[in-house]
Amino acid sequence: FVVLDTVAQRLWLVRDPFGIKPLYFTRSASSFWFASEISALVDAGVTSRTIDPQGLYDFLHSARVDHRAESMVQGVNQLLPGQIASLDLDAGPSTALDVRTYWRPPTEREDRPFAEVVTDLGHHFRRSVQSHLRSDVAVGAALSGGIDSSAILCSMREELGPDAKIHAFSYLAEDPRYDEEQWIDMAAERAGAVVHKIRIQADQLREEASDLIRSQGEPFGSTSIFAQRCVFRSAHDAGVTVLLDGQGADELFGGYRGYLAGSFADLVRSGRLVKAAQLAAKVARRPDVSIGRRELARVAAKLLPGAAADALLKRAGLGPFPTWLDQTWFLNHGVSGLSTPSTLGLDDALVSAFASTSLPSLL
């Protein structure tokens, strides 16, 4: 939200702790503009369509987007999750913003009994669902069949009681390897929810690609965002305009495969070699996780000193400039590597994903 203090002549800009809602801004010598979408600033003619070289590199190299204060459009910045900023209007719009972070994810480790932590997590989770159910319109849920969205749906039933009508909206993949319909049906039956299912054909993506790109405003990591768009449209067509959506569980609890390298490296660094061997054996038995040359290089790089790690990653095709990137162009534009460095251990990786490199772009 934005507050204009007409007495103190100060403009306040605030973004929520997790980055659920965006807040972009740009400025000139005589004006300060803000909006919830980059396209509004471009359409107003207060910024150009010039690409930001660092943002372009981060996206092409590592699919990173929406992870830093600068946007993909040169001259357009964003307030980051958990930040508050103020602008002294008497000093003029070109004066520096006073930006502070009022919240960040806590990273201190606590030595507590596992059962106690589980109980606390359940309490906080139910409180979160309860608070997000506050609405004067119909409330539904996006249901993927995964643990997070299924837990949200069942908690909604507990909070709303047995008689409330709950609508769930789900995307079904055509490929049986990725079809989660059986899990969707199981969760919906348990929660007594009405399920609205959608399937998507390739020609739909072709027809809507331009609108999708325009509404996003910046590049996106995969076409899964189109499936979400269709799910939300299904909810809108059903008259449900508020959805509870499971985002952030993978970033909090290490649900993505990419966290395996950090976890393995942590075990080796701390001398827990038996645990490291057990983890490697479990991963090797999983049919959906392949351990190839690049994955091994990522693990080894986390255990080596800087120069050796860089050399290994370059040899594995994971260096700062793979052959398909024009190194000269980026170097000439002042780009030498990622704006946010790679993380070493699992804890760092989870905090980074939660605060910058994953969750904000999904939200």
| 272-285 tens-digit pLDDT | 889 988 988 888 78
**Residue-level pLDDT at 312:** 67
**Residue-level pLDDT at 194:** 96
User: Predicted confidence band at 99 (pLDDT cuts at 50, 70, 90)?
Assistant: very high
- pLDDT of 157-175, one tens digit each? 999 999 999 999 999 998 8
Write the CB contacts of 108 (distance below 8 Å, at least 6 apart in sequence). Answer: none
